Amino acid sequence: MAWFPMAKGVANLYRYAEITQPANTRYLDALAEVDDPGKAQEDLLSLAPSVRRNGRSYRGFNPFSKLDLDLFSAVLRGENTIMGFRNSDIRQQLFPTAQEPGKIRQLASRVSRLLKLLHVRQLIAKIPCFRRWRVT
C-alpha cells in the first residue's frame, strides 16, 4: 500500500468530495468564529475626519500613517495600564534616537500636540495631580 496522486477524472469525483468535505467544514467553522468588523471600521472612520473644539480645528488620524500607528501602539502598550504614561514615555517610544537637548525639547512639544489630538477625541484622559495620562 502507498499514497499515489489521484487521477483527475469523473471516476474519482466521489473521493475528491470525501477529502474536501472535512476541509470545507473546518474552514466554515473558523469563519463562524470571526466577529463582524463593521463596528471596528466605524470606530476607525470616526477618527479620520478633523474635529473642531473651542474654536480650534484638530486634524484627523490617518490609519495608514506610520506616525499615527506608532502613536497608537506606544499609547496602548501594556506597561502603561497601571500607572499611565508621560510625554517622555511616548517620546522615547516614537523617537528613540534623539539625544540633543534642543531636539528632545522640540520632540516633547511634538508629542504634546499628538497627545492633545488623542485627548480631544477622548481616547486618553489626564490623571489628576500628576503629569500622566491614561487610556479611556
Question: What average pLDDT is seen over the chain?
Answer: 89
| Residue that the C-alpha cell 468588523 belongs to | 37
Percent over 70 (pLDDT), the chain: 100
Handedness of CA 83, 84, 86, 89 (dihedral sign): positive
Instruction: In whole angstroms, give the CA distance from residue 135 to residue 115.
Output: 11
pLDDT digits (tens, 9 = 90+) for 55-68: 999 999 998 899 99
| In contact, 132 and 83? CB cutoff 8 Å | yes
Per-residue pLDDT at 125: 95
Backbone angles phi, psi at 134, to 5 degrees: -135, 155
Per-residue pLDDT at 41: 81
Instruction: In whole angstroms, give the CA distance from residue 77 to residue 70.
Output: 11
pLDDT digits (tens, 9 = 90+) for 71-97: 999 999 988 888 899 999 999 999 988
Report yes or no on whether pTM surpasses 0.75.
no
pLDDT digits (tens, 9 = 90+) for 30-50: 888 777 778 878 888 888 999
